Structure 1
Amino acid sequence: MYEWLTMHCDRKILIDLLDSAENNNYQGFSKFDALNSPFLEKLSFDNKWLRLIFTQLVKESPLHVRPHLQVKTSRNPKGIALFARAYLFLYQQTLESAYLDKAEKLLAWLLNNPSSGANNLAWGYNFIWQSPIFLQKKYEPNTVVSVFAGEAFIHAYRVTGKQQYLDAATSVGKFILSDLPVLHDNDEELAIAYVLRDVDAVVLNNQVLAGAFLIKLWKHIKQDNIKESAIRLINYTVNRKTEYNAWYYTFPCNKSLIVHDNYHTGGIIDGLVEFYQETGDDRYMETYKKSLEYYRVNLFEANGAPRWMNNKAYPFDIHGSAQGVISFVKASTIFPEYIKEAEKVLDWTVKNLYNKKRCEFIYRKGRFWKWNYSLMRWCNAWMGRAMADFIYHVK
């Protein structure tokens, strides 16, 4: 059954998805964009807890309330980076220049629209984001969005050999190592802030994302300080693994309600194996094997549905699906048996979260109802990148 699906459906779904996104100029709503509503921004009275409540209410609503709150669609820089990588994978698989052209147009948009407030190239989200740990202003630069842009530039450099992309990635590396506040620093470990201000918690996946990006950058520019910083960043998170091979979202763990969730865990394990793939250094591989198996067993149902957290199945979120495809495809390059897991996740996702009529993936599926609307970056950019990655590596 799955062989038929891959042969006849995956590529068509991906192309339809990307065409739909392009027709919408890659603009859409975002999971955390509640405060882009002029009403909710005013009603929050600049109060942290009101901002947090409004953000949570909108993101958890199974009804698509954003248009009624006058939230406008816009481009999310992280989504643009993900779409660019989807096109790059398609170009690598087909050598059709149209895909490379589309990727480079999106990369040009990123280069022309960096965030202000940093000394180097950096990007932030297209909304005001109130989390329990910090307030992120609209387009204020942060580590994660900048790393995703940097990853897209590294990918483009490897595909095209164009120096401008390596230069852009190098600037992102300088942002990580020079602009962001340092929260922890010793000979063995390094931890940086998510945003351009001191915070009282370290986001654990943030350190591995940054470290994995830096090790890719090091492979091309061979600056020893970059490799050393990458190792110390990854060490920080690896050293805070639980005895059962999982990670909390933050350290200290009581700074967040997130326990061991799906997609942040996937991002961490990806970074560990990427370090090995870029360097040949297997120092993290034992941790990788154990945490990969924890991820497979505890964060997915037997049918491929992505669990929300280790202790909570619902809702099944599209981001978890995309991360599962990416992580299991990556794992299969070392351990071929994991490709079956990627196939299983993709099969479940297409059957349960794909809207064929609208050519888009929907947000979530709960026990009793679906969040039957799409978020451009959270749903379609992530699944576009995941499916393109799958098609490139499997076919």
Structure 2
Amino acid sequence: MLGLLESTLAYARERDYTGYDYFDGMSSRLLRWAPVDNKWVNIAVQESIKRAPVNVRPLFLVEQRQNFKGSALFAMANATAHDLTGNPRYREEATALADWLLEHSNDDYAGFCGGHTHEMQLLDERRPANTPNVIPTSYAVKALLRLGADRYVDAARTAAAFLEEDLDYTELETGARIKYQPQYSGEFYTLNGGAIGARMLLDLYDRTGEERLHEQATALFDHLTTKQHAIGGWTYRDPPSASHLSMDNHHNGFIVESFLHYREVTGSDRYEETLDDALAFYRERLFDPNGAPNWDEESSYPKDIHAATQGILVFTKAGDREFAREIIDWVLGALYAGDGRFYYQRRRFYTKRFTLMRWCQAWMAYALAEHLSTSAEISVANN
């Protein structure tokens, strides 16, 4: 499997970690050349590109860009590849990617932060490129802390100010909550964003020992426990009516992984009942026995590579390495193109046989690296 990780990283490295992305339709040069600038035209083009059964991005002249979150994932995967192989090239790649994250942080906010490098048109907003939010910021923080140099750690520590001030960390009777991105009004709560934000605070606490970060993370997790449904999962937003998504796979995976991380970092069983219910729901309702990911609690399709990679991460972290390997085997049978390249998604009657650099390659590289790293740790411990 180490060879698979190396070929996955080679595919990205040969392309300078640059490629198409999941939500990049607004980067179409044809759209920019259009004689009108209209929300509905933007949405029509963006959604047509996103939903097409084949990759129409070249036809629309969509720009290939380096992604902030993808760069963080590739940085960590390269760092792990260096640990596993001793090849200095991987360390050099990881350092270059971490430097890129520092250079592309958005300096208009209270601390280190970042977002997607393409513009997005939504129903209620037009989100400029590089608008920061909690998810890419948290993975970039994890990458900087993983690399460990003083300049990276110093930058990562300031992300706590971004979360507290720009994401409006707010204490409640049930704990605390944050906004997904600075521009949101707070009328709804993106639940996986709260979990990932809490995980970021735990990463910083684990490095710095600052008790305030631990307390804030715990408050965010406390509130999340009140939003868990009886079947064990979480809807994408609270209230559920605020999104067309229900209890989809990879966003629930973010939440489960974050609770697992709390247990790992703190040694506390504070959320053991929450975790037991969440892991049972995640395993039984969001995955088939052969490792194939379901879309949500009701729908089997589409079977998305991001859901699969998040499952690899969750079950590896939970100690269920056998099922994590089942997921890897399913990906290799259903979504692997060969030569280190992975396809985007399997639909009921066809497969979307194209590659998105962050969504497919970065996530798969990171998931494989984490799985291999745990294997290596177990091997060392047993010898």
TM-score bin (small chain): over 0.9
Alpha-carbon shift at residue 351 of structure 1 (Å): 1.2
Is this contact kept in 2: 1:44–1:51, CA < 8 A? no
Preserved CA contact (<8 Å) 2:177 2:194: yes
Q: Which residue of 2 aligns with 1:381?
A: 362
Paired residues for 1:1-395 under 5 Å: 10-40=1-31, 47-131=38-122, 134-157=125-148, 162-182=149-169, 184-199=170-185, 200-332=187-319, 338-356=320-338, 358-395=339-376
Q: Distance in 2 between matches of 1:30 and 1:71?
A: 10
On the 8 A contact 2:312/2:328 being kept in 1, the answer is yes
Give the C-alpha shift of residue 50 in structure 1. Answer: 4.4
- The code of the aligned residue for 1:355 comes to A
Distance in 2 of aligned mates of 1:121 and 1:310: 35
Provide the rounded CA distance (Å) in 2 between the counterparts of 1:194 and 1:133: 15
How far did 1:226 drift? Answer: 1.6
C-alpha contact 1:273 1:285 (8 A) present in aligned 2: no
Gaps of 5+ in 2: 377-383
Q: Give the alignment's Cα RMSD to 1 decimal.
A: 1.8
Contact 1:44 1:50 survives alignment (8 Å): no
Maintained 8 Å contact 1:91/1:97:
yes
Report if the CA contact (8 A) 2:29-2:63 is conserved: no
Unaligned runs of 5+ residues in structure 1 are: 1-9, 333-337
- The alpha-carbon distance between structure 1 residues 145 and 44, as it changes in their structure 2 partners (threshold 3 A), is farther
The one-letter code of the counterpart of 2:24 is: D
Residue type of the partner of 1:177? E
- Could you say what secondary structure the match of 1:12 adopts? helix
Count of aligned positions: 375
C-alpha contact 1:132 1:256 (8 A) present in aligned 2: no
1:192–1:207: 8 Å Cα contact kept in structure 2?
Answer: yes
TM-score by length of structure 1 reads 0.90
Report what 1:335 is aligned to.
none
Q: Secondary structure at the match of 1:215?
A: helix
2: distance between equivalents of 1:193 and 1:96? 41
Q: Percent identity?
A: 30
Q: For the Cα contact (< 8 Å) 2:302–2:347, is it kept in 1? A: yes
Tell me if structure 1 keeps the 8 A contact 2:343–2:353.
yes
Q: Is the 8 A contact 2:119 2:128 kept in 1?
A: yes
> Do the aligned residues in 1 keep the contact of 2:316 with 2:324 (CA within 8 Å)?
yes
Contact kept, 8 Å, 1:180 with 1:192, in 2: the verdict is: yes
Task: Decide whether aligned partners of structure 1 residues 209 and 134 sit closer, same or farther in structure 2, where only a CA change above 3 A counts.
Answer: farther
Provide the C-alpha distance between the structure 1 equivalents of 2:325 and 2:36, rounded to a whole number of angstroms.
47
Residues 1:173 and 1:286: Cα distance change in structure 2 (over 3 Å): same
Structure 2 residue identity aligned to 1:303: N
**What secondary structure, in the 3-state scheme, does the structure 1 residue paired with 2:182 have?**
coil
Report Cα offsets for 1:343-372 as digits up to 9, x if no partner. Answer: 10000101111111x531010111111111
Structure 1 SS opposite 2:151:
helix
Deviation at 1:121, TM superposition (A): 1.4
Q: 1:76/1:269 Cα in 2 relative to 1: closer, same or farther (>3 Å)?
A: same
Counterparts of 2:164 and 2:62, CA distance in 1: 35
Mapped to 1, the partners of 2:259 and 2:17 lie a distance apart of 31
Counterparts of 2:293 and 2:221, CA distance in 1: 25
Partners of 1:166 and 1:146 in 2: CA distance: 14
**2:177 alignment partner, SS class:** strand
Residue 185 of structure 1: SS of its match in structure 2? strand
- Alpha-carbon deviations, 1:84-111, whole Å to 9, x = none? 1111222232333322221111101111
Alpha-carbon distance in structure 2 between the residues aligned to 1:169 and 1:181: 18
- Counterpart-to-counterpart distance in 2, 1:348 and 1:371: 16
Per the TM alignment, residue 378 of structure 1 is displaced from its structure 2 partner at its CA by: 0.3
Match of 1:68, SS state, is coil
**Taking structure 1 as reference, are residues 132 and 189 closer, same or farther at Cα in structure 2, changes over 3 Å only?**
farther
Q: Secondary structure, in 3 states, of the residue corresponding to 1:66?
A: coil
Aligned to 1:302, the other structure's residue is in SS state coil
Structure 2 length-normalised TM: 0.93
- Mean Cα deviation higher: 275-284 or 190-199: 190-199
Is the alpha carbon distance of 1:155 and 1:294 closer, same or farther for their aligned partners in structure 2, counting shifts above 3 Å?
same
